[in-house]
RNA sequence: GCGCCCGUAGCUCAAUCGGAUAGAGCAUCGGCCUUCUAAGCCGAGGGUUGCAGGUUCGAUUCCUGCCGGGCGCGCCA
């Protein structure tokens, strides 16, 4: 049950019956204030304007046609022509019971599932993953999970950077280390960042090394066996590093989702040839370029996309085009999502435009750049180490767990060592992820240890805590939440508010899936946890004097909360625990 | 120079297609633990939504111009 959609359909019907012409939207939303009921329909105002009639008169006609006998206890016309709908407690209760009986919490399952390609994470394998990779990885993963939950067929694509020019110097350096130290083990490759720095220094300071590096790029791309073996060794180590991070982060990406840049090597000449055949590409200053009038400046000067360099080499625009073609032709995508930094906005718009022009992607396919901002430090500057270097993601996560562990030790010394480790891990990682996911994707955000780990307000620990309190009630009651029975009775206002919030899980997910905005789910879960805490304070469950009917009803409500919190957090890739 | 994004309470952030009196948290102040985990709950104060116009029944939201900040713009990715 999606209440918003249900009421929208009812109001749309009433609008038609009241003589409103086609094309008028019911505009049903959650009410902005409690006195305005649970939902409000705003569609009468624009409709009345178009019909040149008094909006309150029209609203009255629409209300007369609204068939919500068992659903609404009161339907009011307010202000200039808003329709306020107050739902009955009984209807809310029956819908809660229906959701509880469904292992999917009555969430929507798309009748016509789409094939959605989600392109996210995409680390550069030349280096270690750093904080700059966090947003793409966790935002993309959350959206992939939500779409999957709603029934879409999600194909994750980890477009790892394994083919840049840097690999020349990396394999040259690796080659020297292997011969110089006889049997270099993977151990020394483990610090990829240090290895990269060493290679870079040699490249900058040693002309001979630089020349050999450049030659190795050409040999590598030409299929030279020796260079490819070195390259493969390096890639294996780097991929293993990324996968360790994914496990630590509780991100659903695995080996099978990797389709790196090099996978498109053979397609690159074909892409350029096809663009030439269609006269989309022209030679300019020695390079193969596409001029796009679509992105011309005021003087009509078009923007430029280079697809092949003067020396014959290809660029990332070329492999992005090849990837689009693959996703259209082979993966049969209906929707392709790019979880990529906002700074790449122009690049992606250009690539999308070229792909459409060349017919690499059908018109029916939706191409969406899910852009996100930069992670800033407490001073509002891009997040760096004290000396100005990039912060390794692995170190950031370790610090989060360590900080969480210190807090757990202090707040709850009664936990066993095993429990403490588990709580520290789930809370620390959850805090980092939630701090990011809860901010609007499109803007930059401030990273602040104290705020995210304060365990107060809109944070992961607060949500996890709400879950543990509910679990604690089940333990105290000695019941198995799977086997609860009885009916729901919503007598207290905090119970009604909680029930309504619980039933809004679906419409929240619809919005998150459509707009690819995880922070909407975070806001929802925070409000749910907050409503749960209020309910918990106002409505005793196990205390003396609570009648059995209320007790059974409230336990059911608790179970609905627990399942929704757990599911919602799981969609964000955040784990819960029974006690903390 | 051109283009894109942003500017909301002291701070960090919300505001669902243009809807009613712009909401939370932190911080500040005041209450609530012999009773289901106080990592909590209840309450108070705090706003010319950068500025000036425009569109309209209605603008944080759309348009124009300024001011301020970030980012991008031919052979890296």
Distance, in Å, from the CA atom of A541 to the CA atom of A441, rounded to the nearest integer, reads: 39
Structure confidence by residue, pLDDT tens digits, A352-369 = 999 999 999 999 999 999
Chain A residues 157-186 within 7 Å (CB) of strand B:
161, 164-165
ipTM above 0.90, yes or no: yes
Q: Could you tell me if A439 and A445 are in contact, meaning their C-beta atoms sit under 8 angstroms apart?
A: yes
- Exposure string over A10-25, b if 16+ CB within 10 A, otherwise e: bbbebbeebebeeebe
CATH topology classification for A3-87? Gyrase A; domain 2 (3.30.1360)
Q: Against a cut of 0.90, is the pTM above it?
A: yes
Percent of chain A's residues with pLDDT above 90: 82
A443 touches strand B (CB under 7 A): yes
pLDDT greater than 70 at residue A187:
no
A49 CA – B21 C1', rounded, Å: 24
pLDDT greater than 70 at residue A461:
yes
Structure confidence by residue, pLDDT tens digits, A476-529 = 999 999 999 999 999 999 999 999 999 999 999 999 999 999 999 999 999 999
A434 touches strand B (CB under 7 A): no
Chain B nucleotides with an atom closer than 7 Å to a protein C-beta? 1-6, 12-17, 19-21, 24-27, 35-37, 39-42, 57-58, 70-77
Q: Could you tell me if A343 and A373 are in contact, meaning their C-beta atoms sit under 8 angstroms apart?
A: no
Q: What is the mean pLDDT of chain A?
A: 93
Burial zone of A199 (CB within 10 Å; 0-12 exposed, 13-18 middle, 19+ buried): buried
- Identify the band that residue A181 occupies on the pLDDT scale cut at 50, 70 and 90: low
The conformational region for residue A91 under phi > 0 = left, psi -120 to 50 = alpha, else beta, is: alpha
| Domain residue limits, chain A | 3-87, 164-235
pLDDT greater than 90 at residue A449:
no
């Amino acid at each position: 049950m999606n209440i918003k959609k249900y009421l929208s359909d009812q109001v749309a019907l009433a609008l038609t019956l009241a003589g409103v012409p086609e094309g008028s939207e019911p505009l049903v939303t959650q009410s902005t204030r409690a006195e305005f009921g649970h939902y409000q329909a705003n569609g009468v105002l624009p409709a009345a304007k178009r019909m040149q009639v008094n909006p309150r008169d029209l609203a009255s006609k629409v209300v007369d046609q609204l068939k919500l006998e068992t659903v609404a206890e009161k339907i009011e016309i307010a202000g200039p022509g808003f329709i306020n709908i107050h739902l009955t407690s009984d209807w809310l209760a029956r819908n809660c019971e229906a959701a509880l009986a469904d292992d999917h919490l009555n969430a929507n399952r798309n009748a016509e599932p789409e094939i959605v390609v989600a392109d996210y994470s995409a680390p550069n394998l030349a280096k270690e993953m750093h904080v700059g990779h966090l947003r793409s990885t966790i935002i993309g993963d959350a959206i992939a999970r939500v779409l999957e939950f709603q029934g879409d067929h999600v194909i994750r694509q980890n477009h790892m950077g394994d083919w840049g020019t840097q690999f020349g110097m990396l394999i040259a350096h690796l080659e020297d280390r292997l011969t110089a130290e006889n049997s270099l083990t993977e151990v020394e490759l483990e610090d990829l960042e240090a290895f990269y720095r060493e290679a870079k220094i040699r490249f900058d300071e040693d002309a001979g090394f630089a020349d050999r590096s450049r030659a190795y790029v050409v040999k590598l791309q030409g299929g030279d066996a020796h260079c490819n073996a070195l390259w493969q060794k390096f890639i294996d180590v780097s991929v293993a590093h990324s996968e360790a991070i994914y496990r630590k982060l509780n991100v659903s990406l695995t080996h099978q989702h990797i389709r790196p840049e090099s996978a498109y090597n053979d397609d690159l000449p074909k892409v350029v040839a096809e663009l030439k055949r269609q006269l989309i590409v022209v030679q300019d200053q020695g390079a193969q370029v596409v001029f796009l009038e679509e992105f011309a400046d005021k003087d009509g000067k078009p923007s430029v996309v280079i697809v092949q360099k003067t020396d014959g080499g290809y660029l990332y625009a070329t492999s992005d085009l090849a990837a689009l073609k693959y996703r259209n032709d082979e993966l049969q995508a209906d929707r392709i999502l790019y979880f990529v930094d906002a700074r790449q906005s122009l690049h992606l718009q250009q690539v999308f435009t070229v792909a459409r022009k060349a017919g690499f992607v059908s018109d029916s396919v939706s191409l969406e750049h899910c852009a996100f901002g930069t992670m800033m430090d407490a001073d509002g500057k891009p997040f760096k180490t004290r000396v100005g270097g990039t912060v390794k993601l692995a170190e950031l996560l370790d610090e989060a767990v360590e900080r969480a562990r210190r807090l757990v030790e202090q707040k709850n010394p009664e936990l066993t060592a095993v429990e403490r480790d588990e709580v520290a891990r789930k809370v620390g990682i959850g805090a980092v992820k939630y701090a990011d996911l809860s901010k609007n994707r499109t803007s930059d955000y401030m990273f602040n240890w104290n705020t995210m780990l304060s365990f107060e307000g809109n944070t992961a620990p607060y949500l996890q805590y709400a879950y543990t309190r509910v679990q604690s009630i089940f333990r105290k009651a000695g019941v198995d939440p799977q086997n609860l029975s009885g009916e729901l009775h919503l007598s207290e206002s905090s119970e009604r508010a909680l029930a309504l919030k619980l039933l809004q899980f679906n419409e929240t997910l619809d919005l998150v899936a459509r707009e690819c905005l995880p922070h909407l789910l975070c806001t929802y879960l925070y409000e749910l946890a907050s409503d749960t805490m209020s309910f918990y304070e106002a409505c005793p469950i196990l205390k003396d004097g609570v009648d059995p009917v209320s007790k059974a009803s409230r336990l059911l409500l608790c179970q609905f909360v627990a399942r929704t919190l757990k599911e919602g957090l799981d969609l964000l890739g955040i784990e819960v625990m029974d006690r903390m």
